[in-house]
A = this chain, B = another copy of it.
Amino acid sequence: MREVLAQAAFQLFLERGFERTTVDDIVARAGVGRRSFFRYFPSKEDAVFPDHERCLAEMTEFLAVADDGDPVGAVSDAARIVLRMYAANPEFSVQRYRLTREVPGLRTYELSVVRRYEQTLAGHLRSRFGEDGDGALRAEVVAASVVAAHNNGLRLWLRSGGEGDPEVAVDHALALVREVWGRPTASTAPAAPGASAVPAVPLAVSGGGDGDGEVVVMVARKGTPMWRVVQQIEAAVGEN
Contacts and interface: CB of A to CB of B under 8 A. Distances in A.
Contacts of A69: none
Contacts of A112: 107-108, 111
Given A134-B176, A141-B149, A148-B141, A217 B215 contact: no
B221 A213 contact: yes
B136 A152 contact: yes
Interface residues of A, number: 54
Contacts of A62: none
Contacts of A141: 145, 148-149, 152, 173, 176-177
Contacts of A147: 144
Q: Which of A177, A181, A216 counts the most chain B CB atoms within 10 A?
A: A216
A219 interface: yes
Interface in A151-175: 151-153, 172-173
B222 A237 contact: yes
A181 B226 CA distance: 12
Given A111-B111, A145-B145, A233-B229, A214 B219 contact: no
Contacts of A234: 226
Q: Chain A interface mostly helix, strand, loop or mixed?
A: helix
A225 B211 CA distance: 15
A209 interface: no
Contact of A221 (B148, B194, B215, B219): B215
A134 B240 CA distance: 27
A138 interface: yes
Nearest to A118: B148
A21 interface: no
A237 B108 CA distance: 43
Interface string A129-144: 0000010111011011
A180 interface: yes
15 contacts: A108-B111, A108-B112, A134-B176, A137-B149, A137-B153, A143-B148, A144-B147, A145-B148, A180-B181, A215-B219, A217-B218, A218-B219, A220-B237, A226-B230, A229-B233
